[in-house]
Amino acid sequence: MITSIHNETIKSLKKLYKKKYRDQENCFLVEGHHMVNEALASGMADLVITTDSNYQCDCDVLIVSETVIKHLSETKTPQNVLARCRKPDNKIVAGHRYLILDGVQDPGNVGTMIRSALAFGFDQVILSDDSVDLYNDKVLRSTQGALFHISVIRSQLKALIPELKQKGVKVIGTSLQSAVPIDDIKTVDQMAFVMGSEGQGMHDDILSLCDQALYIPITTMESLNVGVAAGIIMHHFHANF
């Protein structure tokens, strides 16, 4: 049992809360029984850290004291288990439906959209380089484990969108200008939908790369929360494959 927060292994694990070290080690931490169970089920966890000396799983287990668990935890009321997970391959998967996030910064919105993408049969979620880090603790918690069941990657959209189009994917942007109502967009076999940032919407240079742009007709309000809008779009074009 490790009882000291100054232990080298514990210090290395604590560093994974910083993006710099997550990128260096290609790993991230998740906390709590639900997230750890999801990580184990997906095969992405390679180490479980817990105070339970009887804990059993298919990967290595590190037994630590309550003091160490509290030190590693980012929550006010920590559970007694965390897991170190390996990041998945950062590449486009073959599929029919893609959700692309262009500069989305709110962790809750990102988590909501990842959960909705999984619920509506989307194959992959792609975050732009200027979107919030997927492995930020707040984003991880907001996904409720969905990221372990759907491919989520980060990419430069100026290169990625042309690559998707070369693969036959129809790319649809979202905008209030020079766009058509959602019902006027023809459904095809392969489609990607780009959601812009909470404050500014899509970048003009990214919007210009899209095949079309859509808007959701609404009354009274000027716009919708990006997570809500993405949910409506994904439900409308949900995959039945």
Model pLDDT, residue 61: 96
CA separation for the pair 204, 88 (Å, rounded): 30
CA separation for the pair 188, 238 (Å, rounded): 11
Query: Using one digit for the tens of pLDDT, what is the confidence trace for 203-218?
Result: 999 999 999 999 999 8
Model pLDDT, residue 129: 94
User: Is there a common fold for 8-86 and 97-236?
Assistant: no
Low-confidence ranges of the chain (pLDDT < 50): none
Query: Using one digit for the tens of pLDDT, what is the confidence trace for 109-160?
Result: 999 999 999 999 999 999 999 999 999 989 999 999 999 999 999 999 999 9
Q: pTM, whole model, 2 decimals?
A: 0.92
Of 3.40.50.300, 3.20.20.140, 3.60.15.10, 3.40.1280.10, the CATH number of 97-236 is 3.40.1280.10
CA separation for the pair 177, 168 (Å, rounded): 25
Model pLDDT, residue 240: 65
Q: CA distances (Å), 23 to each of 16, 18, 27, 131, in order?
A: 9, 9, 7, 15
Model pLDDT, residue 241: 58
CA separation for the pair 68, 10 (Å, rounded): 8
CATH number for the domain whose boundaries are 8-86: 3.30.1330.30
Model pLDDT, residue 222: 75
**In the chain, domain spans:** 8-86, 97-236
CA separation for the pair 64, 49 (Å, rounded): 7
CA separation for the pair 133, 218 (Å, rounded): 31
Cβ neighbours around 121 below 10 Å, total: 16
